Chain A
């Protein structure tokens, strides 16, 4: 029988080397969501009156244009990650968006209408300080960039440098700000902290220094945070120590004028650094003489500086946020003030008078568990009757963007926290009430004690329920068919979520770096619940575990998120229901010690929750849940519970065993000398993985048994020496229970980043070969040999024979960003590797291409085994891209989960974008394909039927005729 299955499998494998998407499957079961990240700078496109674009430069080094009507992307440019792609400044002038990138390394100009690059120039080295547009006689043709030691001016049209000048005394003076009032002069403001301000005025034409002054300012330490230029070249600063505003006319004065805040009847909230915001609607003109002053977390003021006179136009208290916006000639101030805990009000005020504008107040509700508003970006526009109206983009603490139109209508929301998913799980949906009832019929123990009659009655009643459900389902189908499509679609909500017949629809629980949790329906991609944890440290590491699935009906499913501060090691647990997102009433144990390791045991408590063990730095073990039942079970099984700890700073990999009293003892230790190499990753196997076949049938009908050690760890090391001749990659296969080193391999002249997949009896890893300057794949497979030592159970303690190790390497013609293997319910389906490429494609590479038994010379036996002859280079075929043209940027991880169908594996790729699809590594062998030709089959059947009828009739006639003859 086993052989038969093997043969069948072989057929399966041989007919499914090519796996691809069909064109009509586009969007049928896959979806993509594109994100940009948290906004750093944003401007509305005001070039065209009816423009629908909002441009944003984000902290993820993305520059994007969004449609303000729908919130969808027009275009998006994804730069390098890290400081080299960091966007330092964003200036918008008409059709051109100017970006300073990589700490002032590059200056780019984008055409915002199509999203193409106009030009890019390399700037001189030096850390970036400030950039501004320079206007002259009502036109803006230049941009100035201020660095630590130099200032350069470039043409807007082509980026060419007009002039570059060294700043005087740049070793003493810290130049920080730039200002241009539109009169052909460029002002550079520098500071010697706690001494004086230096002002250098350059001529725009040739870069000559026109004027150079220094002004005493012993109280000032930073210009960028506490000063702004207001009106006709008035520097205005605020100081919280002396509780004063200072003003200085750059053209005429040489001494600062002090205006005590008390004289205006104001005071600063203690320990708050006051902030000044000025507004320059057009770079060719002077800034407004009105400015905003923030004196406390909920205290904003609109002030006016008119010929040396400071006037308070309006005091906004309480006010969360305030911002300027310009429409045509009119400038307004938008102020957001809290109403109560769940609502905020937004209003517009005339910037010149401080008067509230009519019909501009709107209320928006704020979910208490989404975080406070952090910044607002206002798009003001003139209506037909010349009054000002506005739309506003609100960014909250949890990186949610909400775009609101005037009567408080939310036009769209974007969950930008999803641009940084850290970890995720796919949880099965619960059964519906009727399904659960049916299950209950067989599940209850009481059923055995019931008599025969009651059993029959129960059976009949449940059948009746089924019939009822079916009829109502039919009715619903009929009812839906009459409705237009758009109405039917958006019906999914938490209430009517239930498992489908093949368990293809699941709940994706996603954990993001900002500490926001999401529950997403895997079928449609709609967010069903979200939960913001506001006490998450910024450098937290997350581990998500499913403690109880939906299979234990009266008990709700339960997920546990371990949140660990990377610096201190202190951890907290968040226990929640993955279907509804609600925090569980179960109180997790308080963890006072730093946590080193966590592990899920297959043991369950009386409520079917799996036991989670947490090991702290005293090597003490905490169990969660820690009921009496659990503790008793733990005591019984303690001698079988082993775990490992990795200390990569000391290169120490050690194995421990649990004692009866929940303390631990060390049983083995492997030291990897940190002077030579450092441990990069330790990878075990996935616990939910099934291996169907114990071996492989060879060409001569003998069986080569796989070495299926569930405790095997793959340890990847990289050399500390990065010289390309001496660098190497090491891979160690260690038994996690005994510490026995099963295999050790070293790849010379190679370096990371290394991507590893460890599954079944194989390890696939990818590295960069410095010798040949290419990416290479290597595969290690472990086999027990021709006979199995103990076929019933695998024990690490009783395996005397070392496995046979086979290894082969291949060239891969691209870098990779993430790698994972497909996973199916029973492990019968052949495996594929899912590889995220930097180009945005997700490649589904059959594992049979990475098989160390691929022969160099084809023999009869290898042909019998369906082995592909060895070729050094693996090919990337675009037909193997499971996401066709739906590129996924910066893939950080790929999550695979089995579905109820053996042929189908659910795949979620996450990075900057999220992409969900299904893959069929061996094609859909257990369901009819969607191109199954019902028409043909039925027409052939009918044709046959009629043909037999007709021929029967003809035969009768013939017989009759013959009888008459």
Chain B
């Protein structure tokens, strides 16, 4: 007798389980499935959840925030602790979003079966039947403040100097101007050594020595080198300003 009753109980339990799973499988058949009760008849349910803004003590933002279910079809308001309840929602599938001018919250899709079973999942507008479960009651965490503004491109000396074009022009210049000063060219041994190395570099003695030419040119006309550097500075900032 005990055995039979336990079997019966088991069957009942199983049936309940099947019923529950059936509820969810018909959700999964896709959004087109017309299994939801019409909005005027049938039970009304409530969507509960909580909006969390990490690292914020005062909850002043709640007075300017709202919970919108499927556009403005159902509206809920936030309590001072960030929790919310949207009452009077018939069964169906809804996108729940918290709108606030200060913080950004990700929307969540909430499915309510005709029996009142709730499920939350990520919103995916392209694959509407895809299910990535989210906790229910909803825990919606703010992903930071909204970024409404573009950053102005400010002009600073560092930007200008770090520009690769400027670097490319300034560094060789420094080397050309400073190197002859560092290396003592008056020392005859040194000169000999340099000449040797130069000869090794340029096997063709008929060609004019490039480095000599350059040093001659630059040490000869300091002024002109300055002009070129300053004219480069006038050209410099233009490529530095990136436009999209």
Q: Which residues of A are at the interface with B, using a C-beta cutoff of 8 A?
A: 15, 17-18, 20-24, 75, 77-81, 85, 102, 105-106, 108, 111, 114-120, 122, 723-725, 749, 770-774, 811, 813-815, 817, 838-840, 872-873, 878-879, 881, 884-887, 931, 933, 936, 940, 943-944, 947-948, 950-955, 958
A22, B149: Cβ atoms closer than 8 Å: yes
Some 6 contacts from A to B, beta carbons below 8 A apart, are A23-B149, A77-B63, A122-B88, A811-B125, A872-B126, A953-B223
Given contacts A15-B243, A114-B80, contact A878 B148 (CB under 8 A): yes
Looking across the interface, which residue of chain A has its beta carbon closest to that of B84? A117
Q: Choose among A723, A814, A879 the residue that contacts B149 (Cβ–Cβ < 8 A).
A: A879
- Note all chain B residues with C-beta closer than 8 A to A78: 66, 75
Given that A116-B59, A813-B125 are known contacts, is A933 also in contact with B155, CB under 8 Å in the complex? Answer: yes
Which residue from B59, B220, B227 sits with its C-beta under 8 Å from A951? B227
Say what secondary structure dominates the interface of chain B. Answer: mixed
> Is B32 interfacial (CB 8 A cutoff)?
yes
Determine whether the beta carbon of A839 is less than 8 Å from that of B149: no
Closest A residue to B109 by beta carbon equals: A773
> Interface digits, B102-135 against A, CB 8 Å rule (1 contact, 0 not)?
1010010000000000000001011010000000
B46 within 8 Å of A (CB atoms): yes
Residues of B within 8 A of A948 (CB): 227
Q: Which residues of A contact B221 (CB under 8 A)?
A: 955, 958
Residues of A within 8 A of B150 (CB): 18, 20-22, 879
Q: How large is the interface on B (under 10, 10 to 19, 20 to 34, 35 or more residues)?
A: 35 or more
Number of A-B contacts (CB under 8 A): 161
Cβ–Cβ contact B230 & A119, under 8 A: no
| Other-chain contact of A725, B34, B71, B85, B147 (Cβ < 8 Å) | B34
Residues on B facing A (Cβ under 8 Å):
31-32, 34, 44, 46, 59-60, 62-64, 66, 68, 70-75, 77-80, 84-85, 87-88, 93, 97, 99, 101-102, 104, 107, 123, 125-126, 128, 146-153, 155, 220-224, 226-227, 230-231, 233-234, 237, 243-244
| Assembled-state Cα–Cα distance A79/B66 (Å) | 9
The smallest C-beta distance from A683 to any residue of chain B, in angstroms, reads: 22
Query: Could you say which residues of chain A place their CB within 8 Å of the CB of B31?
Result: 771-773
CB of B66 within 8 A of CB of A814, answer no
Report whether B146 and A116 are in contact in the complex, using a CB–CB cutoff of 8 Å.
no
Q: With a CB–CB cut-off of 8 A, which chain B residues contact A773?
A: 31, 93, 128
> Contact at A17–B244, with CB atoms within 8 Å?
yes
Contacts of B220 in A (CB 8 A): 958
A225 to B115, CA, bound (A): 44
Smallest Cβ-Cβ distance to A933: which chain B residue: B155
Are A21's CB and B148's CB within 8 A?
A: yes
Contact: B80 with A21, CB < 8 Å?
A: no
Inter-chain contact A117/B147, CB cutoff 8 Å? no
Q: Given contacts A943-B234, A947-B227, could you give 8 more A-B pairs where the C-beta distance is less than 8 Å?
A: A22-B151, A77-B77, A80-B73, A108-B77, A120-B77, A724-B34, A811-B125, A885-B146
What residue of chain B has the Cβ atom nearest to residue A16's Cβ? B244
| Contact, CB under 8 Å: B230 / A944 | yes
Smallest CB separation, B111 vs chain A (Å): 10
- Given the known A-B contacts A122-B46, A815-B72, A840-B101, are A958 and B34 also in contact in the complex, defined by CB atoms under 8 Å? no
Question: Does B243 contact A936, Cβ atoms closer than 8 Å?
Answer: no
Report the minimum CB–CB distance from B2 to chain A (whole Å).
43
Chain A's nearest CB lies how many Å from the CB of B47?
Answer: 12
Whole-angstrom CA separation of A219 from B53 in the bound complex: 61
Complex formed: what's the CA distance from A118 to B63 in Å? 12
Residue from A116, A120, A838 within 8 A of B85 (CB atoms): A120
Contact between chains at A931 and B153 (CB < 8 Å): yes
A residues near B107, Cβ cutoff 8 Å = 813
CB contact between B146 and one of A22, A122, A878 (< 8 Å): that residue? A878
- Alpha-carbon gap, A817 to B68, bound state (A): 13
Point out the residues of chain A lying under 8 angstroms from B73, CB to CB: 80
Task: Report the nearest B residue to A951, measured CB to CB.
Answer: B223
- A573 CB, nearest partner CB in chain B, Å: 36
Interface contact B233-A940, CB-CB below 8 Å: yes
B233–chain A nearest beta-carbon distance, Å: 7
Given contact pairs A725-B34, A948-B227, A18 touches B77 in the complex (Cβ within 8 A): no
The answer to whether B155 touches A936 (Cβ under 8 A) is yes
Contacts A813-B125, A958-B221; is A114 near B104 (CB within 8 Å)?
no
Residues of B within 8 Å of A947, CB to CB, are 226-227, 230
A950 with B79: CB separation less than 8 A: no
Would you list the 10 A-B pairs with minimal beta carbon distance, nearest first?
Answer: A815-B71, A115-B63, A951-B223, A116-B80, A954-B223, A884-B148, A839-B99, A885-B101, A75-B63, A23-B149
Q: Is the Cβ of A943 less than 8 Å from the Cβ of B230? A: yes
A774-B128, A811-B125, A879-B149 as given contacts; A85 in contact with B233, CB under 8 Å: no
Q: Say yes or no: A749 contacts B148, CB within 8 Å.
A: no
* Distance of A749 Cα from B34 Cα, bound (Å): 12
The answer on a CB contact under 8 Å between B77 and A106 is no
Cβ–Cβ < 8 Å partners of A772 in chain B? 31-32, 125, 128
User: What residues of chain B lie closer than 8 Å to A20, measured between beta carbons?
Assistant: 148-150
Residues of A within 8 A of B151 (CB): 22-23
B71 to chain A, nearest CB (A): 3
**Whole-angstrom distance between the Cβ of B238 and the nearest chain A Cβ:** 10
A957 and chain B: residue at smallest CB distance:
B223
> In the complex where A840-B101, A948-B227 touch, is A18 in contact with B244 (Cβ < 8 A)?
yes
Interchain CA distance A724-B35 in the complex, whole Å: 11
Residues of B within 8 A of A950 (CB): 223, 226
A456, B41: Cα distance in complex, Å: 85
> Could you tell me the distance in whole angstroms from the C-beta of A160 to the nearest C-beta in chain B?
14
Check if A117 sits within 8 Å of B148, measured CB to CB: no
Contacts A878-B148, A944-B234 hold; do A119 and B223 have CB atoms under 8 A apart?
no
Residue of A nearest to B44 (CB): A122
B147 A878 Cβ-Cβ under 8 A: yes
Q: Is the CB of B148 within 8 A of A105?
A: no
Across the interface, do B68 and A838 meet the contact criterion of CB distance under 8 Å?
A: yes
User: Given the complex, which residues of A lie within 8 Å of B60, measured CB to CB?
Assistant: 114
Instruction: Give the chain A neighbours of B32 by CB distance below 8 A.
Output: 724-725, 749, 770-772
Minimal beta-carbon separation of A81 from chain B (angstroms): 8
Instruction: Give Cα A900–Cα B97 distance, bound, in whole angstroms.
Output: 40
Bound-state CA distance A192–B133 (Å) is 56
Q: Cβ of A119 and Cβ of B152 under 8 Å apart?
A: no
A647 CB to nearest B CB, Å: 30
Whether the pair B79, A117 counts as a contact (CB closer than 8 A) is yes
CB neighbours (8 Å) of B78 from chain A are 116-117
CA distance A23 to B244 in the complex (A): 18
Q: How far is the CA of A963 from the CA of B22 in the complex (A)?
A: 105
Which residue on A lies nearest to B36, using beta carbons? Answer: A724
